[in-house]
Amino acid sequence: MAEAVVNNDEHAAYFEDVVARLTDAFPKLSLKVIRKVVASCRRDIVQMVIQLTATEVDEQRKAEIIESRALMPETEEASTTAVHQKRGTSIKSQVKKYTSGFKIEEFLAMFPNPEETFCNPERGEDVLDMTTVAYVESFFMNKYPSIYKSHISFLLYQGSTRQPKCISLLKMDEELQKVEQKGEQVMKCRRKPTTMRIDPGEDIRLLQELAYLEHRTDILDYKLKKQQEETDRRKFAKENGLTVSCQCCFVDDLLPEEVYSCTNDFCFCGECIRKSCEMKLGERDIQFPCLAACRSQFAWKTLQAALPPTLFSILSQRCTESEIRAAGLKVDSCPLCNFTNTIDELYTLFQCFNPKCMKET
């Protein structure tokens, strides 16, 4: 009996000693887990270490999973916030570009022939909702401060019901010009500037047309001035033998700034380069070689200078898309204008940053 008590005491002492040593070796595991493993292994130290190591790995994995799940909402929220910030910044810059920060040079770079763009019958009428119709009303009240507000509202709402309408802003502007010239519906005192109370939001297309209507005279004057300057320069170049020939279409009365060269200094006009790039894009080719047989390429800056902004934008998008796909990144395109942008795993809506589209699909 006494011998059995001694054996039990020795076993208890051994058990506690092993537990203490393993507790130091596996500090991340609870004492309860270690005791359970020691009791089940019956003095097999190697088996104890193996089981405790596996248990520690499992516990660590569980902790990582719990931590990642806890952080997931924050990650989604941060990603969503970043997307909204990017979208908001882009929209604000576009709004400023056609309102307070309007510049004729930038506008003509985007619309080289604004008369053709905005006076084209195929452009259609503008669909105004309750937000944009109030903004347009304020716009015309500021542009024609002598015309009665009631007449502007009558033309805008096309009758007595104040409901959003499909109207041609260009035709309305021309009608108001005629009214002002004839002196009809004109007040004795000019109206004070009306605050643009309602933000037109993301309707960039509307802002572009309103910017054209507001600055139409200045734009036409600027274009006439540039045309006259070009005529004078061309005359001077011809008289002094400074004209250059295109080595593709062989037009020989080009100004030096109207020709663009490849890396081997073969010169071509912008029209020939444009047609070549359009053909290459149609073939889904993103290589733009020299039009002569010199095996060189057009520099990126040369293409940017030679091509219209819209065509160069398409070209750069195609090249960027090709590089992104080659890098294994995810991209998607706007179904309305084919503008391409990268997307993330949380992608649900595609925000187009094409200035002529800006739609969310």
**253-266: per-residue pLDDT in tens?**
888 888 888 888 88
Residue 73 pLDDT grade (very low, low, confident, very high; cuts 50, 70, 90): very low
Greater model confidence, 187 or 353: 187
Share above pLDDT 90 across residues of the chain, in percent, rounded to a whole number: 5
Average pLDDT over residues 125-144: 79
Angstrom distances, CA of residue 252 to CA of 124, 204, 294: 41, 41, 21
pLDDT of residue 223: 92
- Cα separation, 342 vs 338, whole angstroms: 13
Tally the C-alpha atoms within 13 A of residue 21's C-alpha that lie toward its C-beta. Answer: 10
Reading the block at residue 299, the tokens are 């520099």
CB 252 within 8 A of CB 240: no
Share above pLDDT 70 across residues of the chain, in percent, rounded to a whole number: 70
Tell me the β-bridge partners of 252.
none
Closest-CA residue to 341 (of 328, 324, 361):
324
Greater model confidence, 73 or 203: 203
Residue 13 host element (H or E): helix 2-25
pLDDT of residue 76: 42
Q: Strand 259-261 and strand 166-167: pairing?
A: unpaired
pLDDT of residue 169: 84
Closest-CA residue to 209 (of 172, 179, 165):
172
Left if phi > 0, otherwise alpha if psi is -120 to 50, otherwise beta: which for 165?
Answer: beta
Instruction: Specify burial of residue 152 (Cβ count, 10 A radius: 0-12, 13-18, 19+).
Output: buried
Greater model confidence, 78 or 146: 146
Greater model confidence, 276 or 321: 276
- Compute the mean pLDDT over every residue in the chain, rounded to the nearest whole number: 76
pLDDT of residue 219: 93
pLDDT, tens digit, for every residue of 306-324?
888 778 877 877 777 776 6
pLDDT, tens digit, for every residue of 159-187?
555 565 567 888 888 888 888 888 877 78
pLDDT of residue 307: 85
Residue 43 pLDDT grade (very low, low, confident, very high; cuts 50, 70, 90): low
Domains of the chain: 2-71 (no CATH), 104-219 (no CATH), 243-329 (3.30.40.10)
Residue 348 pLDDT grade (very low, low, confident, very high; cuts 50, 70, 90): low
Greater model confidence, 167 or 340: 167
- Is residue 325 over pLDDT 70? no
pLDDT of residue 355: 60
- Is residue 69 over pLDDT 60? no
User: For the ranges 151-165, 182-196, 294-308, which has the lowest average pLDDT?
Assistant: 151-165
- Is residue 1 over pLDDT 50? no
- Cα separation, 286 vs 166, whole angstroms: 41
pLDDT, tens digit, for every residue of 194-225?
777 556 555 788 888 889 999 999 999 999 99
CB burial of 214-230 (b: ≥16 within 10 Å; e: otherwise) equals bbeeebeeebeeeeeee
